[in-house]
Structure 1
Amino acid sequence: MIVEMVNRFYGKVRQHPSLGPIFDGAIGDKWAEHLPKMYRFWSSVLNSSGLYSGNPMRAHMTLTQTVEPEDFGHWLVLFRETLDELFSADDADFIFEKAERIAESLSLGMFYNPASIHARINA
């Protein structure tokens, strides 16, 4: 099911008007390498399999010039849509909760800057 989830989700991502160009720019013609990495990532997240050993934050930090904070919202909408197509409501909720935490962590890592004027004004 993880393979089907990842394949279906990234099929949607690649067609999305704002996410597609971001992922195509980052991955290019290396989808055959990227998808198995995502299978291992989600297996590790959902099954504690330990198959994934990469550093998602480091990989995403290279994208701060092309990714906008709202892109995480688009990503989550497509992910939820995919989960609802494939899983029971309880399983979809469980997986989506993990995805929300991952998106929040990556977004904070990429865009949160406590030294920025915006952080000082909103404090």
Structure 2
Amino acid sequence: MPPAERREKITAEIVARTGITEPLIERLVRGFYAKVRSDAVLGRVFEARIHDWEPHLQRMFAFWSSVALMSGRYHGTPMAKHMPLPVDADHFDRWLALFGETAREVCSPEAATHFIELARRIAASLELGIAGAQGVLLGNGERFRRNEAGEMPG
């Protein structure tokens, strides 16, 4: 089976199982980032870097379409974009809490479960990558923590 045909089949299976659609992805992403922007932990991290939100949201629609539906719409490097951010385990925990809350509000239980599992994997991968870039090798179950000034404990 050609790759494009295989991708279409996988996407159709995901849609049938979860009910995820592109409009649902947009509602989820818009709802999530509305919460992020007003959040005490995450808001300032995003506001310091994103001045025009609509292009960012459009990229996130494509990203989540690619991740959740295997659509292939996103072409970027999430790890590289996140490496310079002053974030650690607390930020990822808050990101996951807000994302999960939003997914449960706007999605069916099946879709929410699908999105939340993907988000957990993404957060773990990004946290591991950011830690590694800071010279910290995390062991199984270990989390990446910065000190009060946002620097690595040392």
TM-score (norm 1): 0.87
Residue 4 of structure 1: SS of its match in structure 2?
helix
CA apart distance, 1:62: 1.6
Could you say which residue in structure 2 is the equivalent of 1:91? 111
How far does the alpha carbon of each residue in 1:10-68 deviate from its partner, in whole angstroms, 9 at most, with x for none? 000001001000011121x12121000000000000111111000000000121xx212
- Aligned to 1:80, which of 86, 100, 108? 100
Residue 48 of structure 2: SS of its match in structure 1?
helix
Which runs of at least 4 in structure 1 moved beyond 2 Å after TM superposition?
A: 112-119
Greater Rg by CA: 2
TM-score (norm 2): 0.70
- Aligned to 1:17, which of 17, 40, 61? 40
The 8 Å contact of residues 69 and 111 in structure 1, kept in 2 or not, is answered as no
The answer to whether the aligner puts 1:100 opposite 2:120 as a matched pair is yes
Amino acid corresponding to residue 12 of structure 1 in structure 2: K
Quickly say closer, same or farther: Cα 1:6–1:118, change in 2 above 3 A.
closer
1:60 and 1:92 mapped to 2: Cα distance?
A: 24
- Structure ranking higher in helix proportion: 1
CA RMSD of aligned residues (A): 2.1
Could you say which residue in structure 2 is the equivalent of 1:49? 71
1:72 and 1:87 mapped to 2: Cα distance?
A: 21
Could you say which residue in structure 2 is the equivalent of 1:8? 31
Could you say which residue in structure 2 is the equivalent of 1:36? 58
The 8 Å contact of residues 43 and 51 in structure 1, kept in 2 or not, is answered as yes
2:137 and 2:127 mapped to 1: Cα distance?
A: 18
How many residues get paired?
A: 117
Quickly say closer, same or farther: Cα 1:30–1:92, change in 2 above 3 A.
same
Could you say which residue in structure 1 is the equivalent of 2:9? none
Percent identical across equivalent pairs? 42
